[in-house]
Amino acid sequence: MQELFGEFLGTFILILLGNGVVANVNLEKTYSKGAGWIVITAGWGMAVFVAVFATADLSGAHLNPAVTIGLAAAGLFQWAKVIPFILAQVAGAMMGALTVFLFFKNHFDITTAPGAKKACFCTGPAIRNFRSNFFSEMVGTFVLVFAVLMITLPQLEYHSFSGSSKVGLGSLGALPVALVVFSIGMSLGGTTGYAINPARDFGPRLVHWLLPLKSKDNTDWAYSWIPIVGPVTGAVIAALLYKVVVNLV
- Cα(132)–Cα(125) distance, integer angstroms: 10
Q: Residues in the chain with pLDDT < 50?
A: 156-165
> CB-based burial of residue 122 (10 Å sphere; 0-12 exposed, 13-18 middle, 19+ buried)?
buried
Closest CA relative to residue 105, chosen from 55, 30, 159: 30
50-69: per-residue pLDDT in tens? 999 999 889 889 999 999 99
Task: Give residue 167's region: left, alpha or beta (phi > 0; psi -120 to 50).
Answer: beta
Output the pLDDT for position 174.
83
Output the pLDDT for position 193.
96
Output the pLDDT for position 249.
59
Output the pLDDT for position 161.
42
Output the pLDDT for position 57.
87
- What is the CATH topology of the domain spanning 2-248? Glycerol uptake facilitator protein (1.20.1080)
- Cα(20)–Cα(199) distance, integer angstroms: 16
Output the pLDDT for position 160.
42
Q: Alpha-carbon torsion 78, 80, 82, 84, what sign?
A: negative
Structural domain boundaries in the chain: 2-248
